[in-house]
Amino acid sequence: MFDFLDPADLAAIWLTVKLAGLTTVLLLLIGTPIAWWLARTGSRWKGPVGAIVGLPLVLPPAVLGFYLLVLMGPNGPVGALTQGLGLGLLPFTFAGLVVASVIYSMPFVVQPLQNAFEAIGERPLEVAATLGAKPIDAFFTVAVPLAKPGFLTAAILGFAHTVGEFGVVLMIGGNIPGKTQVVSMAIYNHVEAMEYANAHVLAGILLVFSFVVLLALYTLNPSRKRP
């Protein structure tokens, strides 16, 4: 079925999907409590935490990748920790890519969730409490279902944004085929090697993918407008 792709490109696609999928799952797990806290806290830490989460929105990926490389490298604190735990070093591994992607795509998951939680407001949770629901119960039975459009947006944006990453991967993942080589890296390699036909195929796949993702986002998410 994928005869038109050479095995290396197919491996890059598979790796990208795996990376984006895993990153999205992790981000939904990590991002949901952060978004919940940001949506409801009156703490003075709200601003700083929100800014840190949003940093990848404005930071050049190369800068982010550089710092991650330094932090996770043999002389960085994270590197020392992972080595001490017997996990080895994260740069140039798939695990390293996942960690970097989680940080890089964080705002694309946290912000839609935060907006969704803020839009729900306090009232439905108060109602749930008056009906005997504990806070955690109310969260799963009221807040999460009501924030479903936000979760959908967050998952799609998180996945798509991870698929499109380049700079961070370049810095900390390198370009190891079958291990850390994602689609965007493969395209870069083909162009460097003047293999435009292969680059076209991969680029076309990403283009169609991006369009389908946005189409899904706009059609699956019901409009907020009420008749």
Partner 1 sequence: MIEARFKLDYPGFTLDVDLSLPSAGITALFGQSGSGKTTLLRAIAGLERVPGGRLVFDGEVWQDEDGGVFLPTHRRPIGYVFQEASLFAHLSVQANLDYGIKRSECRPTSADISRIVELLGIGHLRDRRPDRLSGGERQRVAIARALLRQPRLLLMDEPLAALDLARKEEILPYLEQLHETLKTPILYVSHAPDEVARLADQLVVLDGGRALASGTLTETLARLDLPIRLGEDAGVVLDATVSEHDSEWHLAGVDFPGGRLWVRDKGIPTGHHVRVRILARDVSLAHEKIEGSSIINAVAATVTAIGDDAHPALCLVRLDCGGQPLLARLTRRSAATLQLAAGCHVWAQIKAVALIG
Which among 55-63, 102-110, 128-136, 200-208 is the span making contact with partner 1, rule CB under 8 A?
128-136
Nearer to partner 1, 193 or 220 (CB): 220
Q: CA-CA distances (angstroms) from residue 94 to 15, 55, 97, 144, 177? A: 9, 23, 5, 31, 11
Considering the complex, state which of residue 44 and residue 123 has its C-beta at the smaller distance from partner 1.
123
Q: Is 121 in the site for partner 1 (CB under 8 A)?
A: no
Question: Considering the complex, what minimum distance in angstroms separates the CB of residue 109 from partner 1?
Answer: 21
Q: Which of residues 132-171 bind partner 1 (CB under 8 A)?
A: 132-135, 137-138, 141-142, 145-146, 148
- Residue whose CB is less far from partner 1, 44 or 134: 134
Residue owning tokens 């806070």: 135
Q: Give yes or no for residue 41 binding partner 1 (CB under 8 A).
A: no
CA 132 centroid distance within chain = 36
Closer residue to partner 1, CB minimum distance, 44 or 226: 226
Q: Which is nearer to partner 1, 145 or 178 (CB)?
A: 145
Binding flag, residue 224, partner 1 (CB under 8 A):
no
Residue 42 sits in the site that holds partner 1 (CB under 8 A): no
Verify binding: residue 129, partner 1, rule CB under 8 A. yes
Catalog residues that contact partner 1 under the rule CB under 8 A: 123-124, 126-135, 137-138, 141-142, 145-146, 148, 226
